[in-house]
Amino acid sequence: MEKSSYSEAAYSLKSKAWNCIPGCQKPETAGTVVDFTWHNISPASVGYIAHNDLTGIIVVSFRGSADTQDWIQDSEFTLDSWPKHMPGSMVHHGFLSAYNSVANNVTSTVLRLARQYPKYKVVFTGHSLGGAETVMCAVDILDKAPELKRRTFIYTYGMPRVGNDAWADGIDRLGVPIYRMVYERDLVPHIPFQWLGYQHFAQEVWIHNNRTHFCGKEQESLKCSAGVAISEYNIVDHRQYSPGNWEFSL
């Protein structure tokens, strides 16, 4: 459950002196050391990179939508070609603008830490808009350093759709563990709409009735959150991604 704690902690990032307390000093995250933070205003992108010697992980956490500027980016539904090494792949213009605004510093820090701690797992995590950015970051890192694939794990929470079919298929081919969490009837994972050209990648983990449902290789299984009637989606469930809200184990 520490992955959701690390994702949640990004919302408390206020300054360069931020130390991730209390989010990164819970029993499951104790010992976390923050190595780098960013707080870009426009395009809006906020997050941090940390490591934990006790659990042997490097954490890359992007914050989700927290202000008006974030939501302006979220509404830019046009698609841009990206990345170059995924033919036909197109992604949300606003999400890509946010990620590109910090990409150089973030990727260089992750690669430095990966060399410094060669046995540590590299965990990418984020909620909402942060989930979109963290997946882009993972794709960027693995293109630059494919040898990190065996150490890479991706956890997103309430993430909107990020790109088109070619993007989703490309993510499925990465060959790394991906857990795309959807809580109950959260609206956000179902936008931007598929009729705009968007598609989710696998695998969804649907938190339903306080239990986890692993949805397998199907990108948007009707046995999981895609099977919920559109009229039942809500924004309240988008705020429920906290470790205490479900029983989750791998």
Catalytic annotation, residues: 128, 186, 238
56 in helix, strand or coil? coil
Nearest C-alpha neighbor of 28 from the set 247, 217, 246, 243? 243
Q: Are 155 and 123 spatial neighbours (Cβ–Cβ below 8 Å)?
A: yes
Please count the other Cβ atoms lying within 10 Å of the Cβ belonging to residue 19: 15
Helix (H, G, I), strand (E, B) or coil at 193: coil
Separation of alpha carbons 192 and 75, rounded Å: 8
Q: Which residues contact 192 (CB under 8 A, 6 or more apart)?
A: 77, 92, 160, 161, 198
